[in-house]
Amino acid sequence: MTTLTLPLLFLEETVVLPGMVVPIELDRESQAAVDAARLAAGQDQDARPRVLVVPRLGGSYAATGAVAEITQTGRLPSGEPAVVVRAVGRARLGVGVQGPGSALWVRAEQLDVPAPDERSYELAREYKSVLLSILQHRGGWQVIDVIQRITDPSELADTAGYASWLDNDKKLRLLETPDTAQRLTLLLEWARAHLAELEVAERIREEVRDTMDRTQREYVLRQQLAAIRKELGEDGDDADDYRARVEKADLPEKVREAALREVARLERMSEQSPETGWIRTWLDTVLEMPWNVRTTDTTDIAAARAVLDADHSGLDDVKERIIEYLAVRTRRAARGLEAVGGRGSGAVLALVGPPGVGKTSLGESVARALNRTFVRVALGGVRDEAEIRGHRRTYVGAMPGRIVRAIKEAGSMNPVVLLDEVDKLGSDYRGDPAAALLEVLDPAQNHTFRDHYLEVELDLSDVLFLATANVADTIPPALLDRMEVVRLDGYTEDEKVAIARDHLLPRQLERAALAPEDVTIEESALRSIASEYTREAGVRGMERAIAKILRKVATRLATETVAGPVRVEAADLRAYLGRPRFLPESARDASTPGVATGLAVTGAGGDVLYVEAATMDGEPGLTLTGQLGDVMKESAQIAVSYLRANGPRLGVPVQDLIRRRVHLHVPAGAVPKDGPSAGITMVTALVSLLSGRPVRTEVGMTGEVSLTGRVLPIGGVKQKLLAAHRAGLTEVILPRRNEPDLEEVPRAVLDDLTIHLVDDAAEVVRLALVDDAGAHAPAAA
């Protein structure tokens, strides 16, 4: 390598490659470098002034620069001094040295360019081809001739210094790379990527140009078509058509005024304006709404009750509430009170109950009983407030909310609207749909409901809203307060058999393409399905079991020669459905102390809940498992503290509670559980474990226990007793203060269960545990 001693000339955000000729405006620092170069060249008559041009990028100096000769000096048109330099080579900066003048001198190592080989020439040909394509796309026709005349690969590669599509970092990389093949390889990669971008951009420009030409052509043709129609006296323009439709439509006065204002805007607006489409869509929506259409309610109360009874067995509470609504509605209509104060007698009923009890299908029956249209609005998983109130018209793709769309779909202003799964509403950054429902479901406000899209008042006071939910706990209190809650707690075994016989079996016969004379399912089989193959509050599982039986019957009829109808009895169920899935709890092993049966309420209805207790060696304390919530954990701690304080009075040894590790587990471990109603169950399980006396398997219990042993009331008594009845329990222990709740329990369930009402945990222990002789404690109702 050759060592050079040159003055430094820094260039801001500019990279000069060998072969480039560039003008440089001189400041004080660069003027010093030029003067120093001239001074050094003056000492040698045959030398030209040379400087080392180093780029300064992003505030930092490069380690490599271009050796440049000063070819011309002068001034710019603005009068500022400048020089023209021609880069002739590359050099890597070394250490600073002393030199003439006030410039900064450095000792630099010149980077020699290797002689081109065959690979360099091949890369040069490829790069020249890509570069010429780029220049053709960019319209650089004058430069093309220059590029075609270049034969040296290194010189061709260094012409990239003039490329505006390369940034300074890439140019600096080329400056730092003396090897010609490496530079051409880099340039080929960058040039191909840039050519691809140019081709895509060119294709997009052509598509846009074609679209604009087509749009312009369509516009001219439409104008000509409009002129021809006008000469023929045929259809007028859209604005005239909309004005006629609005004036002809039966609209409320305020809605008519708003619609005419929008028609006037449409008349003044250019056809090319995007707002014309929005206005037309809004006018179409307003004109499709049934503003003054109402169906006539039935006035035959007995006929309405007959419809409800025919469609659903049981559910007397909700049927009575619907009949009460209908009776009041009929009396208001007879006395002319339908629109007093602008408010109708709209009702909002919330049907709360476990899955499969008929909440959704009940909405259809209510609509038939009232002679109204029925619309279902599914709210499960809705998280956007605009789904209820609609979108502002300024948004692309705006549309009315689900309430307005339901009214339009119903075709009347007094339908039955079922808000399905209202407890599954969510909320996020897009708003809270439950909050948007507050106005919809308030009879004192919904006569002036405003959808964000329509922006006109909509009277919802005549709409009968029915909401369904599995649990009321997840419904916001403000929304729940606007609804009248009617609880559907599930069916008894007799009601399930009646539903299966009267509703489920005929429906599944039709779906399986079977006739009643093809198959007969005996009532004993239906009862066995309800008790041994399904254990649920509703009847969906039972309907699936019937459907499975009928599918197998249809298969037999298609593949075998069967004489007469197929009879399905209780003894035949194992062949159709397999082994029974559920057995009465009395069949459980009664010899294991420390296991008690409790009762709980879940989103799927009532259910039995087991509590298991065990003691073991280890550090004294309490271990709780089964995904228990905070309240349930506190109930377990209260149970242990109560027994440690009152064990001697109960005749229970409590040394193990003090000296050993106590473990309480509540299966199933994967299901979260919480609530205080397992308190007496935990006390009973611990007493059974400590005393060695098993808990009677036919006994279930529920109740909160206090630190002093008082048994406090709980909720969900009806659902828990139905669950106990389904599970085959015969005795249930309840807090005495829950005695009024027994009035809601079906008589058939109360007749099959022995209910023990207690005030103190000691009574629970006496009733639930087998006595010391191994006999059951006396059952006292």
Question: Alpha-carbon distance 120 to 109, whole Å?
Answer: 24
Q: Is the peptide bond before 306 cis (omega within 30 degrees of 0)?
A: no
> Per the annotation, does 357 bind a ligand?
yes
Beta bridge partners of 68: 51, 87
Angle between helix axes 141-149 and 118-138 (nearest 10 degrees) is: 170
> Per the annotation, does 356 bind a ligand?
yes
CA-based nearest residue to 706, from 651, 767, 761:
761
> What is the distance of C-alpha 546 from the center of its chain?
35
- Residue 1 corresponds to which tokens in the numbers above? 């390598």
Span 733-752, pLDDT tens digits: 999 999 998 988 888 888 88
- Residue 661 corresponds to which tokens in the numbers above? 């590790």
Span 12-66, pLDDT tens digits: 888 999 989 999 888 888 888 888 888 887 766 557 889 999 998 887 888 899 9
671 vs 753 pLDDT, higher one: 753
Compute the C-alpha angle 165/167/172, nearest 5°.
130
Q: What mean pLDDT comes out for the span 377-404?
A: 83
Of 30, 528, 635, 677, which is the active-site residue? 677
3-state secondary structure of 83: strand
- Residue 697 corresponds to which tokens in the numbers above? 């398997």
Contact criterion met (CB below 8 Å) for 490 and 722? yes
- State yes or no: is 633 an active-site residue: no
239, pLDDT greater than 70: no
Q: Which residues contact 709 (CB under 8 A, 6 or more apart)?
A: 642, 646, 760, 761, 762
- Alpha-carbon distance values, 146 to 69, 151, 155, 456, 592 (Å): 22, 11, 12, 71, 100
CA-based nearest residue to 639, from 659, 622, 626, 618:
622
Q: What mean pLDDT comes out for the span 503-510?
A: 89
Span 289-317, pLDDT tens digits: 998 888 887 778 888 888 888 887 777 77
Span 332-357, pLDDT tens digits: 777 766 544 344 555 688 888 888 88
Question: Alpha-carbon distance 766 to 652, whole Å?
Answer: 12
Q: What number of other Cβ atoms are within 10 A of residue 269's Cβ?
A: 14
Contact criterion met (CB below 8 Å) for 624 and 664? yes
Contact criterion met (CB below 8 Å) for 704 and 711? yes
Q: Which residues contact 32 (CB under 8 A, 6 or more apart)?
A: 7, 101, 102, 103
3-state secondary structure of 9: strand
> Per the annotation, does 355 bind a ligand?
yes
Rounded to two decimals, the pTM is: 0.59
Tell me which amino acid residue 408 is: K
Q: Are strands 595-602 and 566-568 parallel, antiparallel or unpaired?
A: unpaired
- Residue 447 corresponds to which tokens in the numbers above? 């006569």
Question: Alpha-carbon distance 51 to 648, whole Å?
Answer: 106
DSSP 8-state class, residue 771: -
> Per the annotation, does 353 bind a ligand?
yes
Question: Alpha-carbon distance 451 to 443, whole Å?
Answer: 16
233, pLDDT greater than 70: no
Domains of the chain in sequence order: 2-111 (2.30.130.40), 238-288 (no CATH), 301-487 (3.40.50.300), 493-577 (1.10.8.60), 589-768 (3.30.230.10)
Compute the C-alpha angle 296/299/300, nearest 5°.
135
Of 128, 171, 496, 720, which is the active-site residue? 720
Q: Are strands 64-75 and 50-57 parallel, antiparallel or unpaired?
A: antiparallel
**In this predicted structure, what is the pLDDT of residue 757?**
93
> Per the annotation, does 290 bind a ligand?
no
**In this predicted structure, what is the pLDDT of residue 546?**
92
**In this predicted structure, what is the pLDDT of residue 586?**
47
Q: What mean pLDDT comes out for the span 161-173?
A: 88
Contact criterion met (CB below 8 Å) for 154 and 116? yes
- State yes or no: is 552 an active-site residue: no
**In this predicted structure, what is the pLDDT of residue 117?**
87
